[in-house]
Amino acid sequence: MSQARNEYNFSLLYRKAAAQGVEAKIAEELGNFAGLLRDHYALKLFLEDQMISAEYKKKKLAVLFSASANRFLLDLLNGLVDCGQISRVPNLANNFLKKLLQEKGILAGEVESGTEISPAKREKLKKLMDKVTGKKTILRYSVKPQVLGGICVRFIDGTIWDASLQSKLHQLYLAAVQ
């Protein structure tokens, strides 16, 4: 295996991206591509199929990305295709994002709520989370019908800030049982 194929070590990839000043763009594009693989199973099967030549897959990736993707990303994906390691994309995307956020002192989290949160409340929540965590936060929002009321914020570092009705009812139940 050539040296280029052995370079798919995460730290080395991140340093190369940082040296080119494209680490934030790569983190975003890798995340988008990981989502594409998750949402389009046929694409995932195509790229993982060992019966299809790597050259054909790379041609199709070039068409898929044309001028929209960063050259670094296309080279990275081509290298993963050459090695038969395209399945590493979701993990690689996650690691890129974690490293980027860590270096920038940013804490990412997902806010789950039973209903859509208004832009004004989102801004207020972001300011509160910045204050509570002591870091700049980036929050992604999702509506989960099982969250009966309130919100639950899950941060990438594993911290959970649960202010949902479900959590409060569970705490009440535990207090009553003891």
| Averaged pLDDT for residues 134-150 | 87
Partners of 162 in beta bridges:
152
pLDDT band at 4 (very low <50, low <70, confident <90, very high): very low
Please give the model's pTM, rounded to 2 decimal places: 0.65
pLDDT band at 23 (very low <50, low <70, confident <90, very high): confident
The beta-strand segments (E) located in the chain are 106-113, 136-143, 150-155, 160-164
The radius of gyration of the chain's CA atoms, rounded to the nearest angstrom, is 20
| Averaged pLDDT for residues 21-39 | 87
Nearest alpha-carbon partner for 136 in 158, 164, 106: 106
Q: What is the pLDDT of residue 64?
A: 84
| Averaged pLDDT for residues 18-39 | 87
Reported as a single tens digit per residue, the pLDDT across 97-107 is: 888 888 888 88
CA 150/CA 113 separation, integer angstroms: 6
Q: What is the pLDDT of residue 174?
A: 86
> 3-state DSSP helix/strand/coil percent for the chain, to nearest 5?
60, 15, 20
Q: Mean pLDDT, the chain, as a whole number?
A: 86
Q: Between helices 71-83 and 10-19, what is the axis angle to 10°?
A: 160
CA 91/CA 9 separation, integer angstroms: 12
Reported as a single tens digit per residue, the pLDDT across 39-89 is: 899 999 999 999 999 999 999 998 888 766 678 888 889 989 998 999 989
Percent of the chain whose predicted confidence (pLDDT) is above 70: 94
CA 156/CA 141 separation, integer angstroms: 14
145 Cβ partners below 8 Å, 6+ apart? Answer: 114
